[in-house]
Amino acid sequence: MFRYADAPGAPEGTAPAGDGRLDVQITGGRVRVWDGRPVQEPDADPGRVKEPVHDPLHPRTGLWVEENGFVRQELLPNGRYDEARGDRESAYTGRYWVDGSRIDYLDDLGFWAFGEFDGDVLHHAGYRFTRR
């Protein structure tokens, strides 16, 4: 599935998923389309979906460490993540959402990534993370 985020200075636009359906659209730093449906604006039609809300008490919140300890990803209670790589703290930062066993990331640089939880293991970007 193709996802698109507008980085600062990038042209605004949309990107369809492989089936031609618009999956996610971000403009002006705000989610405008999520899972193919328009996101509700303040005081808008209550039938539209709202931007995903992060649960600060979600059981997946906390520190996740890759098998060799090189990559460390902290899922913060405020819906942000902070990823360290080796001695480089905050190598990647951004927002995240958990939906069932799937986690979606929107990096502050504007790119999307995703991972899957399998029990107490997080599979993301070819890494296998466990909670610490």
Q: What is the pLDDT of residues 51-107, one digit of tens each?
A: 667 788 889 999 999 999 999 999 999 999 999 999 999 999 999 989 889 999 989
Gap between the Cα atoms of 28 and 20, Å rounded: 23
* 36 and 93 together in one domain: no
- The domain spanning residue 88 has which CATH number? 2.40.128.290
* 68 and 43 together in one domain: no
* 78 and 100 together in one domain: yes
* 37 and 72 together in one domain: no
- pTM, rounded to two decimals: 0.64
**Does residue 108 surpass a pLDDT of 80?**
yes
Parent domain of 5: 1-51
User: What b/e readout covers 91-118, taking b as 16+ CB neighbours within 10 angstroms?
Assistant: ebebbbbbeeeebbbbbeebebeebebe
DSSP string, 62-125: EEEEETTSSEEEEE-TTSEEEEEETTEEEEEEEEEEEETTEEEEEETTS-EEEEEEETTEEEET
Q: Which token pair is 8?
A: 């600062």
In a domain, 57, yes or no: no
* 40 and 8 together in one domain: yes
pLDDT tens figures, 50-61: 566 778 888 999
Task: Give the chain's domain count.
Answer: 2
Share of the chain above pLDDT 70, in %: 67
In a domain, 117, yes or no: yes
DSSP label at residue 44: S
User: To which residue do tokens 């042209």 refer?
Assistant: 11
